[in-house]
């Protein structure tokens, strides 16, 4: 891997340090460009209906522009220099983790893909896998609704995903059953209808707190309360 400065790394997209709710670093893209989500958002009762990222984008147009920029730079890099994008992500994720560890903050050693947006292609997923393999000290969580992309990747990569990368496929409808797939899953439930592990964030002001269940392959399904 080529050594990069943070300034150079950000030319390929910006990894953010996270916030008081999600303590690990995050990488987000344009939520209006989701392959599956852009259709589900118009379906009443779907897990994308009332998308929080789209609501946030209306309040903070600068955030949406940043997410759009991240996606555009990623797609361009996949065509011209995918390794440079991989190196840029590795550099930024490690830097955020090291800073948190040095300051004794939560989130060191954890990264979430797509606080907004989703996988654009199989090649994009391959590049994320490469980032995870290059950062074995970091636990990666990739929530996605792109079942087709994940299935295509697994069809030609029989070894599956790296141990430190937990891919969670989300069910399309609220109160839907977990998908029957070869990876971890997630669902969204109304009050009292959780399947598997119930995310505690709803009772913690939306914060992960000390919970890291989403990053653990051993947690088969995480169920998030509809709010």
pLDDT (tens digit, 9 = 90+) per residue, 164-195? 999 999 999 999 999 999 999 999 998 767 89
pTM over 0.85: yes
* pLDDT at residue number 193: 78
Alpha-carbon span 64 to 57, nearest angstrom:
5
Residues spanned by the domain of 107: 22-225
Does any domain span residue 147?
yes
* pLDDT at residue number 22: 83
Does any domain span residue 1?
no
* pLDDT at residue number 28: 96
* Least confident window among 13-17, 29-33, 56-60, 83-87: 56-60
Q: Please, are residues 169 and 119 in contact by the beta-carbon 8 Å criterion?
A: no
Dihedral of the alpha carbons of 71, 73, 74, 75, in degrees to the nearest 10: 90
* pLDDT at residue number 18: 87
* Least confident window among 43-47, 67-71, 188-192, 194-198: 188-192
Question: Nearest to residue 219, comparing CAs of 167, 174, 159?
Answer: 167
Alpha-carbon span 132 to 86, nearest angstrom:
9
Question: Nearest to residue 47, comparing CAs of 114, 120, 124, 144?
Answer: 144
Number of domains in the chain: 1
Does any domain span residue 117?
yes
Does any domain span residue 84?
yes
Does any domain span residue 59?
yes
Does any domain span residue 6?
no
Does any domain span residue 4?
no
pLDDT one-digit tens code per residue, 77-87: 999 999 999 99
pLDDT band, residue 1 (cuts 50/70/90): low
Does any domain span residue 47?
yes
Alpha-carbon span 142 to 170, nearest angstrom:
10
Task: Quickly count: other Cβ atoms within 10 Å of residue 100's Cβ.
Answer: 20
């Amino acid at each position: 891997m080529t050594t990069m400065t943070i300034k150079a790394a950000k030319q390929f997209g910006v990894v953010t340090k996270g916030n008081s709710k999600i303590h690990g670093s995050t990488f987000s893209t344009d939520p209006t460009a989701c392959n599956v989500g852009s259709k589900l958002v118009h379906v009443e009762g779907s897990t994308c209906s009332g998308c929080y990222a789209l609501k946030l984008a209306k309040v903070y147009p600068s955030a949406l522009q940043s997410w759009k920029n991240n996606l555009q730079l990623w797609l361009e890099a996949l065509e011209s220099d995918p390794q440079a994008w991989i190196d840029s992500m590795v550099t930024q994720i490690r830097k955020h983790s090291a800073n948190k560890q040095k300051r004794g903050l939560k989130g060191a050693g954890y990264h979430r893909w797509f606080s907004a947006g989703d996988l654009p292609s199989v090649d994009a997923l391959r590049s994320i896998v490469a980032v995870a393999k290059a950062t074995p000290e970091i636990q990666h969580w990739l929530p996605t609704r792109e079942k087709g992309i994940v299935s295509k990747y697994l069809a030609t990569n029989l070894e599956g995903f790296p141990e430190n990368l937990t891919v969670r496929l989300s069910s399309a409808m609220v109160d839907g059953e977990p998908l029957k797939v070869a990876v971890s899953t997630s669902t969204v439930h109304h009050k009292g209808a959780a399947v598997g592990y119930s995310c505690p964030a709803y009772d913690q002001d939306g914060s992960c707190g000390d919970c890291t269940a989403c990053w653990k392959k051993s947690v088969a399904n995480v169920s998030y309360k509809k709010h």
